[in-house]
Amino acid sequence: MVKQVSSLGRNGVHDFILIRASAIIMTLYTIYVISFCAFTDISYTTWTQFFDSGFTKIFTMVTLACIMIHAWIGIWQVLTDYVKPALLRSVVQLAVVVVLFGYFFSGLFILWGA
């Protein structure tokens, strides 16, 4: 069995489960935010109170991590299928990882005010 170092999961089944689990969490988060927007008079005060709640902050960070996992597995699969030169694929993968971690830490600093 060939192991891919750049793959997030240990194998295809693990990647499949990660994709499905992250999709479920992202769907639940979307429902959570849409229900807040649909049933609340939105103002600056209510919006900041919503995102000041510990549950919302943690749920947002978990969802952001799920977006990273979901995006990485999908992009990794596309790159390994369609970008054949190893050096080019590695450079693009590195760029994607840097961007994804940039998104994660941006969300972290925005939510937790570091």
- What's the mean pLDDT in 26-41? 97
- What's the mean pLDDT in 3-32? 84
Range of the domain at 44: 12-112
Whether residue 96 has pLDDT greater than 50: yes
Q: Give the pLDDT confidence score for residue 2 in this predicted structure.
A: 47
Burial, 72: exposed, middle or buried (Cβ in 10 Å; 0-12, 13-18, 19+)?
A: buried
Q: In this structure, what CATH number is given to the domain that contains residue 26?
A: 1.20.1300.10
Report CA 73 to chain centroid distance, whole Å.
Answer: 10
pLDDT category at 3 given cuts 50, 70, 90 is low
Q: Mean pLDDT, the chain, as a whole number?
A: 91
The helix (run of H) or strand (run of E) holding residue 22 is helix 12-39
DSSP letters along 30-45, please?
Answer: HHHHHHHHHHS---HH
Tally of domains within the chain: 1
Establish whether 14 is an annotated binding residue. Answer: no
Instruction: State the Cα–Cα distance between residues 79 and 59, nearest whole angstrom.
Output: 30
Q: Give the pLDDT confidence score for residue 6 in this predicted structure.
A: 53
Residue 43 lies in a domain: yes
Residue 1 lies in a domain: no
Residue 103 lies in a domain: yes
- What's the mean pLDDT in 95-105? 96
Which pTM does this prediction carry? 0.83
Instruction: State the Cα–Cα distance between residues 102 and 8, nearest whole angstrom.
Output: 18
- What's the mean pLDDT in 82-91? 94
Q: Give the pLDDT confidence score for residue 9 in this predicted structure.
A: 55
